[in-house]
Structure 1
Amino acid sequence: MVTTTESFAEVLRDREVDPVHVIRNGTSLARYAVIPPTVHDHDELRVLYMGTIGRSQGLETVIRATAAAREHGVRIETRIVGYGADVARLRALNTALGSPVRLLDRVQPNEVFGHYDWADTTVVALRDWEPFKWTVPSKLYELMATGKHITAIVDGEAAALVRESNSGDVVPPGDASAVADLWGRLSRDRALVASRDGGRAWIARNAEYDVIGEQYRVLLETEVERNRSS
């Protein structure tokens, strides 16, 4: 069996599944190489979430954190870009809190790069649900490939990956106060949102499509040879 995270592989091994191999989801560094380094030519902190807007992401935390940061005097502009089952609920919450966030519809592929260029920090988020501790969202690999600072509202293996690669800062899922505090620090010290080479280097070693393809080739050849010998 092949799974995409080390932590879920351990869950399967504990269930006596054997053998279990880990080959991660991937991304393309070349695709995001067009995004220039972060430039600090504006006063506000620019926060971007771009992707699926579902209940799994818990994006109310982003809206509440933006509202809280503004209440504490932080100059911040947040965009949530995308579509999904939770859009209507989030729009209602955003309106109730005075519309601290811009909620934008999903964009065409050629518009993605403009949003990343605009952002100081990008968001990956999951709820505090036990299975998500075994999950690394594909979106995280994409954000690492951009070289942008990541606000990681995640736990488990995804959080460990952000720390290991020095791709950004980790805050607990659902903790809007902690997210607001982080964004306050990033706003005061823009050096903290400088472009991150660590994430791109990690992708090059572990999750570039060519790397993943080679891992599958080796695995399949090994399995074919093993079956011939048995």
Structure 2
Amino acid sequence: MRNHGWQVNVVTPRSAAQSVEATARNRFGLAERGIHGEYIRSYPSMKKPSHIAGKIIKNALDGALMLPVALLRARPNVVIATVPALPTMFIGYAVASILRRPLLLEMRDAWPDLISDSRILRWKWLTNMAHRAVRAVQRRATLVVTVTDGFAGILAGDGVRAVQTIHNGISTRNFEPMPKSSKREDSKLHVLYLGNLGESQGLESVLLAATMVADEVEVRIVGGGTAAERLQRYAERIGANVDFLDPARGDALRAHYQWADTCVVSLRDDWASFNHTIPSKIYELLAMDRHITGIVKGEAAQIITDAEAGDIVDHDPRHIADLWLELLADKGRLDVGTTGREWVFEKASLEKLGEKYVELISGIARRERNHD
């Protein structure tokens, strides 16, 4: 957007992890220039809670503070609300309605389907009300952008007329390929899970599988999230010899990838909405030429298969363990070549996806100018 000369204003909660100096410099709603020349207008936010109820409260408070900050800005050509945080959707709709501007609603998760799947609301009447409220905003948006084709089809079939898909991806501008793994002293298969430790991943299956092949397979889990402590307690209870490590970035992240023979991508299989959910981690693993143990289904499984980048398995721990033993016996299967990387450069480059996004927004802005 900035490359096309657009002025971009971002309204967002300020991370509690920001330094005191940055917090003092960036007072409530004060604009700060981002690295691309965008204006970032942030406001204080509470520390991210570890439980779902706390996350709902945090998101609601963030949304309440977002409204006045957004309305104090100059009238934009287009309002973009990006979700998974549901309050952002309603605040975006309010801002677009008050300022009489078009609304582009970006659905990065399968809401409202996830409300029913996750059962985050205890009462059925409240779930139904939330479902109707989300769908009403989606139907009233000028354009809804999804990250999967399947979810776009669901929305279109449920009365959302203007839907487009722009997939997730990774930046390929300064891409550095992973070097080939060096020879190791141990003969075990190295299995890595790197990412969010939440309710969505269903990592209990991985832990149970680890107990079945403890002598042949070494499992490392890197990350944090709402389910981290519960998963560690569960691993201790079942006797899973799994290393839990803190989230990593930069060289530490690449070191984990260098260690791994295969990397796990997992989504629980009892939420129907995950048929149309693609973890963004898949694109990173494809670009890194890592073999993927895909404990996924639907569109996520199809991408791994199309890119010839790994093996798909269900959540049965015995099946996962059997796959790892097969890979250990035939390590040639772990060499996925560069097909995954080529697939990413062709279909999931953020630079190419960004140009497509610019075209969509330009079309909305042109129609609005003609309307005016």
TM-score by length of 2: 0.58
Structure 1 pair 30–94 and aligned structure 2 pair: CA distance change class (3 A): farther
Given the alignment, which residue of 143, 164, 185 partners 2:326?
A: 185
Structure-2 residue corresponding to 1:107: 248
Give unmatched runs, 5+ long, in structure 2. Answer: 1-143
Answer yes or no: is 1:46 the counterpart of 2:190: yes
Shift of 1:32: 5.5
Pair 1:22 & 2:165 matched: yes
Which position in structure 2 is the counterpart of 1:12? 155
Give the residue type in structure 1 aligned to 2:267: L
Q: Which moved more, 1:193-202 or 1:58-67?
A: 193-202
Aligned: 1:164 with 2:306: yes
Which residue is 1:136 aligned to?
Answer: 278
Bigger mean CA offset, 200-209 vs 36-45: 36-45
- CA shift digits 1:90-140 (9 cap, x unpaired): 112211232321111222433100000110000110101101111001111
What is the alpha-carbon distance in structure 2 between the residues aligned to residue 34 and residue 160 of structure 1?
A: 24
Q: Is 1:154 paired with 2:296?
A: yes
Greater CA radius of gyration, 1 or 2?
2
Conservation of the 8 A alpha-carbon contact between 2:222 and 2:248:
yes
Matched residues, number: 226
The amino acid across from 2:343 in the alignment is: W
Check if 1:97 corresponds to 2:241: no
Structure 1 equivalent of residue 106 of structure 2: none
Residue-by-residue CA offset, 1:68-94 (whole Å, 9 max, x unaligned) = 123xxx511110011111112211221
Aligned to 1:68: 212
Partner Cα separation in structure 1 for residue 358 and residue 236 of structure 2: 51
Query: Match of 1:143, as an amino acid?
Result: L
Question: Is the 8 Å Cα contact of residues 152 and 162 (structure 1) preserved in structure 2?
Answer: yes
Distance 1:89 1:227 in 2: 50
TM-score (norm 1): 0.91
- Given the superposition, is the C-alpha separation of residues 62 and 106 from structure 1 closer, same or farther in structure 2, using an over 3 Å criterion? same
- 2:180 is aligned, of 26, 31, 37, to 37
The Cα of 1:178 is off from its aligned counterpart by 1.0
Alignment-derived partner of residue 114 in structure 2:
none
Q: Does 1:176 align with 2:317?
A: yes
**CA RMSD across the alignment:** 1.8
Q: Is the 8 A contact 2:308 2:336 kept in 1?
A: no
Distance 1:82-1:98 versus aligned 2 partners, 3 A rule: same
Query: Whose relative contact order is higher, 1 or 2, with alpha carbons under 8 Å and at least 6 apart?
Result: 1
Residue deviations 1:114-172, cap 9 Å, x none?
A: 00011000011010110111100111111111110000101111011111111111112
Gaps of 5+ in 1: none
Cα distance change of structure 1 residues 3 and 163 upon mapping to structure 2, 3 Å threshold: same
Percent same amino acid among aligned pairs? 39
